[in-house]
């Protein structure tokens, strides 16, 4: 039995790469974000976001009738903890970069295994404990470098525009950046006006709907793994 790879991050990564935009750490006397063109703003965001060592990401994606919601904190050394729902199924997860643990309900396992019968088999084996799973099956969901990779390089068919004035998001001044692709997908991204500039929200509409909220940049991620008696190794089920 193989647990199917979590596909939620593929949508999140697509949203990030095609829509996130911002600016590098400018001094106060330098050109304001609202005075830059879209291509320049997107190129500059890669510099700032590449320096992030940890962050919190919450969001929702929808594609082909399936809704995925998630709330996680992750860092560059592999610590990650949070929750994820796929359709009606819910789960929580934690990893230290070497071991990946999940605790989910029947609906969650049904959405990530081959069929419902397999999901029941998994749940019967796990009981009320955590499951130790193969990290490769879920690693993209917590891979911070992958989340940030590609920021600063928009798709060739993207048309980018920057708002002329500032907006406010969660009490912080932000610049609104709009990215539109030839297929009709539109992503609206909010970037903090004050340096170092951070992407705090990105919303995509079109072929796949997705919304991301980013926060808690560079704050430590405390990933507490379950004790030895509180989990089972899912690989044992296939032996």
Phi and psi dihedrals of 33, rounded to 5? -60, -40
- In order along its 239 residues, the chain shows pLDDT tens digits of 444 444 444 444 444 444 443 333 343 334 577 777 777 777 777 788 889 999 999 988 887 787 888 899 999 999 999 998 888 889 999 999 999 999 998 888 887 777 788 888 888 999 999 999 886 666 777 888 888 877 766 677 878 888 888 889 999 999 898 888 888 889 898 988 888 888 999 898 888 788 999 999 999 999 999 999 999 998 898 76
Partners of 89 in the β-ladder: 86
Are the C-beta atoms of 195 and 26 separated by less than 8 Å? yes
105: tokens are 């309900």
In CATH terms, is domain 8-238 a member of 2.40.50.140? no
For residue 237, give Cα distances in angstroms to 1, 71, 209: 8, 29, 36
Are the C-beta atoms of 79 and 97 separated by less than 8 Å? yes
Phi and psi dihedrals of 133, rounded to 5? -120, 165
> Model's pTM, two decimal places?
0.83
* Domain positions in the chain: 8-238
Are the C-beta atoms of 20 and 170 separated by less than 8 Å? no
DSSP H or E stretch at residue 17: helix 8-19
């Amino acid at each position: 039995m193989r647990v199917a790879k979590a596909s939620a991050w593929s949508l999140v990564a697509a949203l990030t790469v095609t829509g996130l935009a911002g600016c590098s750490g400018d001094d106060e006397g330098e050109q304001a974000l609202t005075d830059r063109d879209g291509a320049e703003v997107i190129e500059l965001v890669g510099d700032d976001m590449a320096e992030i060592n940890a962050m919190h990401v919450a969001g929702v994606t929808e594609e082909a009738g399936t809704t995925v919601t998630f709330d996680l904190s992750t860092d560059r050394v592999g610590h990650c903890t949070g929750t994820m729902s796929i359709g009606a199924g819910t789960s929580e997860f934690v990893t230290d970069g070497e071991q990946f643990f999940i605790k989910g309900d029947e609906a969650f396992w049904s959405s990530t295994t081959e069929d419902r019968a397999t999901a029941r088999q998994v749940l019967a084996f796990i009981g009320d404990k955590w499951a130790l799973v193969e990290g490769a099956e879920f690693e993209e969901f917590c891979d911070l470098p992958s989340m940030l990779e590609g920021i600063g390089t928009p798709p060739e068919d993207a048309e980018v525009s920057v708002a002329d004035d500032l907006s406010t998001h969660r009490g912080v001044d932000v610049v609104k950046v709009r990215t539109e692709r030839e297929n009709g997908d539109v992503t609206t991204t909010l970037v903090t006006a004050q340096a170092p500039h951070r992407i705090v929200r990105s919303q995509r509409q079109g072929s796949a709907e997705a919304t991301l909220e980013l926060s808690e940049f560079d704050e430590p991620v405390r990933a507490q793994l379950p004790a030895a008696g509180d989990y089972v190794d899912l690989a044992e089920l296939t032996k």
